[in-house]
Chain A
């Protein structure tokens, strides 16, 4: 029960951002990514940081939840940083060893690229933190619907995604339970060589697959019993509608993009 609400990393709330139409949020997130890429200097990044901070405040999301999402990409950020640091060619070389050298330009590039990655991820975090997975797939389905004319299976993909999302917590819970049950029978998942550990996963994977297939079967049956027959003619309980707040959100992002272009043109802090 508990896990049903913690779907993905969605952080329930009733804020302005939470109540935006999911389509708006998806499109504006894409616009936000473009903003990050067109920004050519640190001043632009400053604006973006301020924007993210403001959104987080409005959505009442603690910053630590936004930073939590950075953990998985930490390695990529570090590698990007180091590559840029050592590999950029620059005039004023500070340090040199073989083919590796550090220049002022290199340091700037490294910081800039690392920041860009961090901003990309923190910005998109806002989307997934404030939009429930169901609303998210609803939004995606509606955005991709025009493409179904050329044979793109928008509804099917959206349904598959919602089902997958719906079952992630269930499967996690199940994995946890089976892990514990096998541990109670003395199974050891944590020690031994790599091969031994891979073998130790078998008592976990077999029951997990068996139960996943069983669930899939039951779900298909339950859906058919309720006359599911694909997306054609299917109506929604909560149809998506654009509202005034979506317009406000759009204005905010346009403002951000405009300001970034101005900072680019002004040349302050540009790399």
Chain B
């Protein structure tokens, strides 16, 4: 199912001196099976934007269409929110139940599943995020930060959403926790779930996404494949965004006169490219 965002605008505190336009006339479409990254500086409106996608915020103007229907007029918002799962930033702060298993089955319970269905959905989700069975009966507050994050993610996955939206899923985690959570997201996408991920880590976005939307001051300023977006190193830097380290390195090498193909933005690709070049030099020498 596609999400179609049309001329979406959202203003905070309208009519007061604190009036701010958080989202300003943004349009895009998310198609089935995509892995979309949304990047932008702090305060660029990313988080506000994605909360529109499952009707948690009503737009000031513009609309969000899911399957051709404007979701703000939809009567059954709960069923919509089941289909479009949203994982907030620091989702571990929303854990509340006595046990991890109960917390994860909160979502399925709300959408009217039976006790057995809830538990089996919860177990499945917990396995998907790689939480071992001995932690299922623990209090969520006993888990480590990374485990809590995964439990909270499972809480959304247990509703089996068709589209998964994540706000900075790796924020505040140590490198190994980061890697783990990103691998889980990659796995979920490979099972056919459409994923929208907000992040300010260009490296993460470069590695995972097949399309990138860049936001600045509430406006959509770029929308394209990672190769297209990350070839605009200067523009990204002007917006205060740090391009992926591989793209930066490739650009520096090019400035030094080393001929490198355009559109390289991951370390693996850059390594391959350099290997080819060096290999070529050796042969020639």
Contacts and interface: CB of A to CB of B under 8 A. Distances in A.
Interface of A: 1-2, 5-6, 11-12, 174, 177-178, 180-188, 202-203, 206-207, 210-211
B74 interface: no
Interface stretch (B1-9, B105-113, B178-186): B105-113
B115 to A, nearest CB: 16
A155 B152 CA distance: 41
Contact of B88 (A184, A186, A202): A184
Contacts of A188: 78, 110
B51 interface: yes
B81 interface: yes
Contact of B13 (A6, A11, A174, A182): A6
Given A6-B13, A188-B110, A210-B141, A182 B18 contact: no
A211 B92 CA distance: 11
B94 A207 contact: yes
Q: What 8 A-B pairs have minimum CB-CB distances, sorted nearest first?
A: A186-B110, A206-B96, A185-B107, A184-B86, A181-B94, A181-B88, A180-B56, A186-B111
A71 to B, nearest CB: 16
Interface centre among A178, A181, A188, A202 (most CB of B within 10 A): A181
A180 B86 CA distance: 10
A28 B260 CA distance: 74
A8 B78 CA distance: 33
B144 to A, nearest CB: 15
Interface in B74-90: 78, 81-82, 85-88
A5 B18 CA distance: 8
A188 B76 CA distance: 11
Given A183-B56, A186-B78, A207-B95, A2 B20 contact: yes
Interface of chain A, helix or strand or loop or mixed?
Answer: helix
A186 B20 contact: no
Contacts, number: 69
Contact of B54 (A6, A184, A203, A206): A184
Given A2-B20, A185-B107, A202-B96, 5 more contacts: A178-B93, A182-B106, A184-B56, A203-B94, A210-B96
B88 A180 contact: yes
Contacts of A202: 96
B18 A2 contact: yes
Contacts of A177: 88, 93
The bracket for how many chain B residues form the interface is 20 to 34
Nearest to B108: A186
B110 A180 contact: no
Contacts of B45: none
Contacts of A183: 56, 81
B54 A207 contact: no
Contact of B106 (A12, A203, A210): A203
A5 B86 CA distance: 28
Interface string B155-180: 11001000000000000000000000
Nearest to B141: A210
Interface string B91-134: 10111100000000011001100000000000000000000000
A53 B115 CA distance: 62
A26 B111 CA distance: 53
B91 A181 contact: yes
A183 B106 CA distance: 11
A187 B110 contact: yes
A186 B79 CA distance: 8
B28 interface: no
B93 A207 contact: yes
A178 B94 contact: yes
Nearest to A180: B56
A82 B82 CA distance: 50
Nearest to A186: B110
A185 B155 contact: yes
A185 B96 contact: no
A177 B89 CA distance: 9
B42 to A, nearest CB: 9
Contacts of A182: 94, 106
Contact of B96 (A6, A12, A207): A207
A203 B156 CA distance: 14
- Looking at A6, A178, A183, which has the most chain B CB atoms within 10 Å of its CB? A183
A183 B12 CA distance: 20
B85 A1 contact: no
Given A12-B17, A178-B94, A206-B96, A186 B82 contact: yes
B13 A186 contact: no
